[in-house]
Amino acid sequence: MLAEIKGLNEECGVFGIWGHQDAPQITYYGLHSLQHRGQEGAGIVTTDGEKLTSMKGLGLINEVFSNGKLNDISGKAAIGHVRYATAGGGGYENVQPLLFKSSSGSFALAHNGNLVNASQVKYQLEAQGSIFQTTSDTEVLAHLIKRSGHLDMKEAVKSALSVIKGAYAFLIMTETEMMVALDPNGLRPLSIGVLGDAYVVASETCAFDVIGAKYERDVQPGELLIINDEGIHSERFSMNINRSMCSMEYIYFSRPDSNIDGINVHTARKNLGKRLAVESEVDADVVTGVPDSSISAAIGFAELTGIPYELGLIKNRYVGRTFIQPSQALREQGVKMKLSAVRGVVEGKRVVMVDDSIVRGTTSRRIVTMLREAGAKEVHVRISSPPISNPCFYGIDTSTHEELIASNHTVEEIRQIIGADSLAFLSVEGLLEGIGRPYEGEFKGQCLACFTGRYPTEIYQDTVLPHEKA
Amino acid sequence: MLAEIKGLNEECGVFGIWGHQDAPQITYYGLHSLQHRGQEGAGIVTTDGEKLTSMKGLGLINEVFSNGKLNDISGKAAIGHVRYATAGGGGYENVQPLLFKSSSGSFALAHNGNLVNASQVKYQLEAQGSIFQTTSDTEVLAHLIKRSGHLDMKEAVKSALSVIKGAYAFLIMTETEMMVALDPNGLRPLSIGVLGDAYVVASETCAFDVIGAKYERDVQPGELLIINDEGIHSERFSMNINRSMCSMEYIYFSRPDSNIDGINVHTARKNLGKRLAVESEVDADVVTGVPDSSISAAIGFAELTGIPYELGLIKNRYVGRTFIQPSQALREQGVKMKLSAVRGVVEGKRVVMVDDSIVRGTTSRRIVTMLREAGAKEVHVRISSPPISNPCFYGIDTSTHEELIASNHTVEEIRQIIGADSLAFLSVEGLLEGIGRPYEGEFKGQCLACFTGRYPTEIYQDTVLPHEKA
Amino acid sequence: MLAEIKGLNEECGVFGIWGHQDAPQITYYGLHSLQHRGQEGAGIVTTDGEKLTSMKGLGLINEVFSNGKLNDISGKAAIGHVRYATAGGGGYENVQPLLFKSSSGSFALAHNGNLVNASQVKYQLEAQGSIFQTTSDTEVLAHLIKRSGHLDMKEAVKSALSVIKGAYAFLIMTETEMMVALDPNGLRPLSIGVLGDAYVVASETCAFDVIGAKYERDVQPGELLIINDEGIHSERFSMNINRSMCSMEYIYFSRPDSNIDGINVHTARKNLGKRLAVESEVDADVVTGVPDSSISAAIGFAELTGIPYELGLIKNRYVGRTFIQPSQALREQGVKMKLSAVRGVVEGKRVVMVDDSIVRGTTSRRIVTMLREAGAKEVHVRISSPPISNPCFYGIDTSTHEELIASNHTVEEIRQIIGADSLAFLSVEGLLEGIGRPYEGEFKGQCLACFTGRYPTEIYQDTVLPHEKA
Amino acid sequence: MLAEIKGLNEECGVFGIWGHQDAPQITYYGLHSLQHRGQEGAGIVTTDGEKLTSMKGLGLINEVFSNGKLNDISGKAAIGHVRYATAGGGGYENVQPLLFKSSSGSFALAHNGNLVNASQVKYQLEAQGSIFQTTSDTEVLAHLIKRSGHLDMKEAVKSALSVIKGAYAFLIMTETEMMVALDPNGLRPLSIGVLGDAYVVASETCAFDVIGAKYERDVQPGELLIINDEGIHSERFSMNINRSMCSMEYIYFSRPDSNIDGINVHTARKNLGKRLAVESEVDADVVTGVPDSSISAAIGFAELTGIPYELGLIKNRYVGRTFIQPSQALREQGVKMKLSAVRGVVEGKRVVMVDDSIVRGTTSRRIVTMLREAGAKEVHVRISSPPISNPCFYGIDTSTHEELIASNHTVEEIRQIIGADSLAFLSVEGLLEGIGRPYEGEFKGQCLACFTGRYPTEIYQDTVLPHEKA
């Protein structure tokens, strides 16, 4: 039973716009550019000033809004959400934005992040007679808002935010205004821009480029924005700020054309590749990256070392959701689908294979084997991040301690397991300097918990790991 | 009326296997790796030695064979086909392999290429009472086989092949054997490999890597292979050989991990990029390629010049068939979906944008504009092939004379049209040397017709251009 | 806003079973036999003793559970629901059973009927911080249960039932028991049966015949049944009993093979037809009924009068949901689809057309016209129920006062409007005697409100008519 | 192999219209009224005077033309077809009308019936080099037309018709005219009507009523009609006329509101029921018919005997194609879906159960059992046609000799097998007189082959029975 009442809100993407006649359509294109943040489900809620209208579904955004369904939805403002694919979890009712209607007014919620005290709060609310319809953290916030006792929506939201802990970027929309809130640690990226007279907000700045909007600034930790027809208003809902942007957003999660706190993600990755080359150079013939997220780091590694960068691994563009996986027998016969090693490039060569991270090690072992089968003479694995030895409670779906290969093995042991000729990880210092965030302090306002085990927030005893949910 | 009876057989991909218990499944994975050659339709015909079974449909191969449909199909041999997406054309009945049943035995056909005398032959056959069910060139071959008067299938096929002209790689399968034929010019790639005891044949060698097969050799121009339970048998069906491999297969059509006549496609493209850099270097800050097909050339250009290679353009992975295109109004507001320029990379920079070809010029103009809007200070366009000034009659969907920008404009005029600061194409010599095919002669056994206007085959007065069909 | 928070729970069908290894499958077949009570949506919730599992969707039950989806659901007990099609209303979230999960246990609800004080109760609950996820009356009961303060489920349910007013047949299921409640007026039919060792409950007895169960008895007004692995337990939750079975269940809503309070519906309808013949005989050549619900009455009319019963009107079996209605232009050209008049039967004849009711009169006028166009010499309309001159608040989707033709017109006026040669309705006395319910009192425990305007329950000022909802 | 090249054209429905601006829409509604004649597939081909356009698919007509697909199709004339559901056979390519395009003009064919020499003709055509794309008889006619050597379409069609034997109602449409042909035995019904200035033709007259057309006359055996913008022209293509309308069209296949040769089908069936009552009366309490096709006969039986007619068996309206059949285990538990016996009607009664025919006997046994389980004291089965002891070669899907219960058993044996208290069939004389066709001769121009074994046409050695095909 316990599992069912726990929250479910992993890495996702949010987008909102206020004051544009094509708000739902703009939101569609904005969400589309955030599709890499979640492929399980998508939804849009709009307001025409008087009524909230919701449209959502399981699948990719272009599946959910196929066949002109978007034509049925209009409004001057909208918020939208794309949802991360979890193993068994989810279901239609968890697709966001969640819409809550009542006789005294309605509101919709879209959330990116993971609350660490959702179970505790939910338990208390249920004991008081609340009925939860989803297994999503987001609903906790809705009940807190409704039960706050404040008639004013802004006060109700601030009261609710004071209760929850963890990582969150929230978009809240009523018939007449949109609110934007980022947790006091600023664990998730969230930026504001303008499109003509309209305000837009998005998990990543790539959404602004796609819709032709102008980036204004990143939302600040602990900041609450209220946007309506009057304009935009900002206030702090927490004084206890501890800036801790998730490192993984730079390392592999965000799109290379996004900027986070003014730093381009591709450039950050390329710099990580350069630092990695400095820290652990190797004598080799070709550098190749594991597509797509490690390409930038591989380019940086090649550029610094002068070893030619090549397409040694090709990703198959057509491996969609309906793709039929080879049976075990066929896999043993050598059928492989998602990645191909390019024999013409690696045969007889000493190959540096750059990847962004190692979680369980199984994928790395498979790629090393693939490169050797394609004729690589040596395979040197270089990882553009430190070893991940601690679970994430803030929405990144890594793993438990047991499953994280780096929590139980030395680098040399991992090298043997994945079958590489050499293996090196980037250092934490290399990571911080490679990214080069413009903040003071030991960690430059960055969350390193998965590498160091030092969590920026309190962690509750029964906090649920993302992959355990649903 | 005339248009309707003309052929329709553009660039496609074929795959066949003989003598494997998982023949249909292997064919699925083989075709999957050839999906880039055609996304309009896919099909597989199998034989269990006694009966041919067909399964096909419109769409991607994983859509056509979704929901375990492949389980319904078994056999020891199979041929398959992926079909190129044409503007208005096609329809279910044109999806290949075509299956022809009769009381005296059945056969299936899969075809990659374009016949130049299909209209003439079809007209004659209809005058004699034949009924055509498709608008596909492939059916012409079937009627010629049936009407040859030969009881022996091999003789019937040779008789039929003696009538048709143009580009073709044919797979023909009866209940008891598979035949493989390549046109006397060898205009399309086609290779043979082995998988255990089974023979496999595919448009590109990447299919062999994916299924774990071993590459044996490329099929020769004018060669007819007969494969059955006894083994493999080869003969020549034409003595009039004039080796002319399509240049476009190297330049943009084939997958970078494929080899054609022993030359890796990625390596060939990288070399084209290097030759391009030699021929038309430029002072710049970053090199970027138009994804996906120009990445290799861009890497080569960067490597030779020492200008850093960057991800200045990002392709959106999720632009699928059901994606809703922005309305004209939204496009004018700046909504763009397929490609994004990376502001963090190009802002304030002098950018070399490498592309593989220019057909009408509209795409190039759009990308140049996009780079400038993202802040590029200068945009220098470098094309890793010569200007395309002549239509292709062999299956590549370029265009008529009127639509080909290079058939009516000088390079300087094109530069102005696309709005680049400078523009340069690769020379024909650079193309030939960059690819470096291991054949004698002026053109190294390569078709250059779209660049030079010198066609390797006879061209018939009313030969239909691929894009005019259906 | 008001409309949105009002309830939505019209005529529907419910089915439940406790203690059978094929509970979900049995429920599927049971619901299937109740499909005539609702075609908008269907759902099943099962329990395996530890966990409730829900599966539901919009559409017919065989659509919702197509493609073997039922295989994914198992359990020893289940409740199910089929939902009535309303004009614009509904949506996925209103499909029942509704499932409410919480840390202290879960429960599911299925409801047939219409509450008259739902708006009032909902308003109070929202003011106390409750969030409603649906526009269904059923959710009111759930919140009342959760907020009752009783830890014991039975007490919580009884407390909740004491608040609500109107027509309801409720099935409630927790992980470990099923509860069955019928409103104190017994406005909706609900019967209990046994299938081997299992208990079954259904809106109509036809469900028992279909699954091979044995009918035991009808649930009593104000009765609460608790069924679990220990057996069945009955108690009264209200002392204020006023038996008032809906007359329309006999007249047109229930299936002819069902029995209500021991009276077969076909037989009751046939008797209504006989009474009608006695009250308003006519000289004619053929009797025909409007299919399907008036066939029984027409047979009775023919049997008593000796006028031959014929198929003068044919219903098209294939008019499904996806059927394309003729355009206005085509309708004017005479295209008609749902019903056909049989020229070979009615041409040149004096026809008695028996129908079960007249609501707005438009359908009757259309059928009379159709019979005349097919050559009927005279058309005598006979209605096997009294004129409907008052709206129903208990779930039958009749209409407002304004729309009910009989609330504004005399019988003679109606005759002129529908264009009949003569028109007669059954009297209220004829209705009561024709059905012949085995109860004492003026109305024999029957609700006649739509004929007489005398409602068996209190009616609240802003009670919502079913057709106004959503 | 042989099976595959044989024809496939069972009982189907055809509709055509010439000279109406809404021709495709009218055809849709016409076909819809013929849906009972075939549910496997449907198609419409239209002409705008210059080009034939086809739209077809598997499934019911409202599924094939769902979502406004009909809007894409226009024309001044159209022919359409609904196809009978066969066990394993069929497939998309066999859905009609078949469309044949060629450089010298196109034509479309729609066929109701079954050719007896299709295999022989096909074998000869293939030996001459023709390629067949379908397993449908209809394609034989197309090849004969194309190979006739006649440039004039009418002469080509007459030449082709002179070769084929069996049962057929053909609609043929070119860009500029429509031809209608009925076999010399007139085995299948086909009627002509007018709709304003347009000519319409349909398998059954019910189609005329639905679209508001006026019936003109039945097409004559051996008649060829040519309809174009000039008007209608009739000629004979055969002098060897032997009128033999299929008895089964009256007995169970056609719709009760259709007339065949001026006789209403419901009336004919009712008369068969009266004759049956005369021939084999029985002392009983209620008469019931097996829905839908035996209702009319049951009414006739009741009317003549004075035994009350009741709804003793109810057909479930919602048993669609996607309905999930109960597993064997559940069937043994008593789950039944398509038909229900009405306990309230039959309990304790002596029941006469009227059915239109007995083929294998399994259905009859099941219904008798069902009635007894519902409490019937006695069950007397009365069949409104003679015993079927011979297979049909003209398109009715009865069975082989072995499967026809009446070809191996006496009436008394059949009674025991189905478990009835008594059983009687109608006599052949009763059948002929009950229908009362207005023709001279022993058989009144009616085919009785399935009862008598005397076939009206030559039967070829390897004529394929409908149910053996595909």
C334 vs A33: which has the higher pLDDT: A33
How do residues B400-458 score in pLDDT, each as one tens digit? 667 899 999 999 999 999 999 999 999 999 999 999 999 988 889 999 999 999 999 98
C440 contact partners, CB below 8 Å, separation of at least 6 = none
Residue in A29, A319, A374 closest to B335 by CB? A29
Decide if B336 touches A, using CB distance below 8 A.
yes
Indicate whether B52 pLDDT > 80: yes
The residue-averaged pLDDT of B55-82 equals 87
C69's tokens:
């989806």
Residue C450 and residue C252 in contact, taking contact as beta carbons nearer than 8 Å:
no
Residue A82 and residue A42 in contact, taking contact as beta carbons nearer than 8 Å:
yes
Worst-scoring range by mean pLDDT, A78-92, A443-457, B142-156, D26-40? A78-92
pLDDT number for residue D30 = 95
DSSP strands (E only) in B59-186: 77-83, 98-100, 107-115, 166-174, 178-182
pLDDT number for residue C8 = 38
pLDDT number for residue A1 = 23
Indicate whether A6 pLDDT > 50: no
**Which of B314, B338, B367 to mutate: most A Cβ within 10 Å?**
B314
Decide if B322 touches A, using CB distance below 8 A.
yes
How do residues C258-280 score in pLDDT, each as one tens digit? 999 999 999 999 999 999 999 99
Percentage of residues of chain C with pLDDT beyond 90: 69
Worst-scoring range by mean pLDDT, A316-320, B460-464, C458-462? B460-464
The residue-averaged pLDDT of A210-215 equals 94
Name the maximum alpha-carbon separation found in chain A: 72
Give the chain D residue whose CA is nearest to the CA of B151: D127
**How many C-alpha atoms does D282 have within 13 Å on its Cβ side?**
25
Binding-site residues of C for [4Fe-4S] cluster, in ranges, read: 246, 392, 447, 450
Decide if B233 touches D, using CB distance below 8 A.
no
pLDDT number for residue B399 = 54
A416 vs C469: which has the higher pLDDT: A416
How do residues B175-199 score in pLDDT, each as one tens digit? 999 999 999 999 999 999 999 999 9
Q: Are strands B446-447 and B245-246 parallel, antiparallel or unpaired?
A: parallel
DSSP letters along B285-314, please? SEEEE-TTTTHHHHHHHHHHH-PPB---EE
Residue A395 and residue A9 in contact, taking contact as beta carbons nearer than 8 Å:
yes
How do residues D305-330 score in pLDDT, each as one tens digit? 999 999 999 988 777 666 677 777 77
Find out whether A355 is annotated in a ligand binding site.
yes
pLDDT number for residue B469 = 45
pLDDT number for residue D129 = 85
Does the active-site annotation cover A206?
A: no
pLDDT number for residue C248 = 94
Scan residues 41-70 of C and list those with Cβ closer than 8 Å to A.
51
| Residue matched to tokens 């009797």 | C287
Neighbours of D70 (CB within 10 A): 18
Q: Are strands D41-47 and D77-83 parallel, antiparallel or unpaired?
A: antiparallel
How do residues D402-430 score in pLDDT, each as one tens digit? 788 999 999 999 999 999 999 999 999 99
* Cβ–Cβ gap C126/A2 under 8 Å: no
The residue-averaged pLDDT of C444-448 equals 95
Indicate whether D257 pLDDT > 70: yes
C185 contact partners, CB below 8 Å, separation of at least 6 = C167, C221, C241, C242, C243, C244, C447, C456, C457
Region for residue C5 given its phi and psi (left: phi exceeds 0; alpha: psi -120 to 50; beta: otherwise): alpha
Helices C362-373 and C411-418 meet at what angle, rounded to 10?
50
Residue numbers in C near D336 (CB within 8 A): 210, 212
Dihedral sign from CA coordinates of B315, B317, B322, B326: negative
CA angle C205, C211, C213 (to 5 degrees): 65
pLDDT number for residue B8 = 38
Decide if D4 touches B, using CB distance below 8 A.
yes
Find, among C126, C157, C132, the residue nearest to C144 by Cα: C157
Strand partners, D200: D17, D193
Percentage of residues of chain B with pLDDT beyond 90: 69
Find, among C102, C113, C169, the residue nearest to C137 by Cα: C113
A21's tokens:
């006649």
* Cβ–Cβ gap D209/C326 under 8 Å: no
Worst-scoring range by mean pLDDT, A214-218, B222-226, D334-338? D334-338
pLDDT number for residue C409 = 96
pLDDT number for residue D2 = 26
Name the maximum alpha-carbon separation found in chain D: 72
Residues of B tagged active-site: 12
D224 contact partners, CB below 8 Å, separation of at least 6 = D154, D157, D158, D161, D179, D180, D181, D234, D235, D236, D237
A319 vs D385: which has the higher pLDDT: D385
DSSP letters along B26-47, please? HHHHHHHHTGGG--SEEEEEEE
Which chains pack against B, by 3+ Cβ pairs within 8 A? A, D
Neighbours of B332 (CB within 10 A): 10
Dihedral sign from CA coordinates of C402, C404, C409, C410: negative
pLDDT number for residue A401 = 63
pLDDT number for residue D401 = 63
Would you place residue B135 in the very low, low, confident or very high pLDDT band (cuts 50, 70, 90)?
confident
Burial class (CB in 10 A: 0-12, 13-18, 19+), D214: exposed
Indicate whether A328 pLDDT > 80: no
D409 contact partners, CB below 8 Å, separation of at least 6 = D417
Distances (CA, A) of C421 to C275, C283, C302: 20, 12, 18
B168 vs C327: which has the higher pLDDT: B168
B393's tokens:
């009659």
Worst-scoring range by mean pLDDT, B161-170, B226-235, B320-329, C414-423? B320-329
Percentage of residues of chain A with pLDDT beyond 70: 92
Residue B37 and residue B11 in contact, taking contact as beta carbons nearer than 8 Å:
yes
Give the chain C residue whose CA is nearest to the CA of D23: C330
* Cβ–Cβ gap B143/D126 under 8 Å: no
Percentage of residues of chain A with pLDDT beyond 90: 70
C387's tokens:
């004129």
Indicate whether C89 pLDDT > 80: no
Backbone angles phi, psi at C345, to 5 degrees: -100, -40
**Which of B266, B342, B372, B435 to mutate: most A Cβ within 10 Å?**
B342
Q: How many residues does the structure list for chain A?
A: 470
C7 vs A263: which has the higher pLDDT: A263
Reduced to 3 states (helix: H, G, I; strand: E, B; else coil), residue B78 is strand
What does pLDDT average to over chain D?
A: 89
In angstroms, the CA B353 to CA B382 distance is: 6
Residue in B33, B211, B345 closest to A334 by CB? B211
Indicate whether C391 pLDDT > 60: yes
pLDDT number for residue C78 = 98
How do residues A60-88 score in pLDDT, each as one tens digit? 898 898 877 787 778 999 999 999 855 33
DSSP letters along D140-204, please? HHHHHHHHS--SSHHHHHHHHHTT--EEEEEEEEESSEEEEEE-TT--S--EEEEETTEEEEESS
Worst-scoring range by mean pLDDT, A208-222, C141-155, C413-427? C141-155
How do residues C293-323 score in pLDDT, each as one tens digit? 899 999 999 999 999 999 999 988 777 666 6
Dihedral sign from CA coordinates of C30, C32, C38, C42: positive
pLDDT number for residue C440 = 84
Find out whether A206 is annotated in a ligand binding site.
no
Residue in B105, B131, B143 closest to D100 by CB? B131
pLDDT number for residue A321 = 60
Indicate whether D463 pLDDT > 70: no
Neighbours of C86 (CB within 10 A): 17
Residue numbers in C near D374 (CB within 8 A): 209
B305's tokens:
């010049």
Indicate whether B285 pLDDT > 60: yes
Find, among B361, B344, B233, the residue nearest to B288 by Cα: B344
**Structural domains of chain D sorted by starting position, each given as residue range(s) with its CATH number in brackets:** 2-242 (3.60.20.10), 265-316+328-438 (3.40.50.2020)
Would you place residue B91 in the very low, low, confident or very high pLDDT band (cuts 50, 70, 90)?
confident
| Residue matched to tokens 């009362």 | D436
At position C326, the amino acid (one-letter code) is P
B409 contact partners, CB below 8 Å, separation of at least 6 = B417
The residue-averaged pLDDT of D10-24 equals 91
Tell me which range, B250-254, C394-398, D438-442, is most confidently predicted by mean pLDDT: B250-254
Dihedral sign from CA coordinates of A351, A356, A359, A363: negative
